[in-house]
Amino acid sequence: MYRYFFRFVVTTVTILTANLLTTAISDYMISYKNHVKPVTFTLIAMGIIVVVFYPLFTKMEGWVKALSLKLIKSGKSLAGKYLGLTMAFLATLAVLCYFYARAWYHIDLAKALFSGNIGGYF
């Protein structure tokens, strides 16, 4: 049971992290689209996407798995096996939520949380 939950956690974090990174890189590249002719830009962007994202996707799961194992080891000693994994997963989701809200809505969730205005965003 733990193995399936761990696999779910790693896959979920990998998907969300890869999507966040690809969106940020794509948005950055799109900002230069008016400097080059459309078809030339499209071909250059496609090449950059493959050069950047292929190694990113092949390495991302390994990085997330290694980081997850470190978090789980520290969480396991504090809260137990399942609770440690759940707490690490929720903490990771909170960090990813911060970056998604920042990217999509330009909201600083940490500032809103500490100022007491977080309720206005739910």
Is residue 58 predicted with pLDDT exceeding 90? no
Is residue 5 predicted with pLDDT exceeding 90? no
Is residue 52 predicted with pLDDT exceeding 90? no
Structure tokens at 1: 């049971």
Structure tokens at 108: 């600083």
pTM over cut 0.75:
no
| Residue whose C-alpha is closest to residue 74's, from 60, 94, 91 | 91
Angstrom distance (rounded) from CA 95 to CA 58? 22
Is residue 47 predicted with pLDDT exceeding 70? yes
Angstrom distance (rounded) from CA 43 to CA 1? 46
Is residue 1 predicted with pLDDT exceeding 70? yes
Is residue 109 predicted with pLDDT exceeding 70? yes
Angstrom distance (rounded) from CA 100 to CA 94? 10
**What pLDDT, on the 0 to 100 scale, is given for residue 100?**
92
Q: If you ran DSSP here, which 8-state letter would residue 122 be given?
A: -
Parse the chain into domains and list their residue ranges. 2-121
Average pLDDT, the chain: 82
**What pLDDT, on the 0 to 100 scale, is given for residue 6?**
79
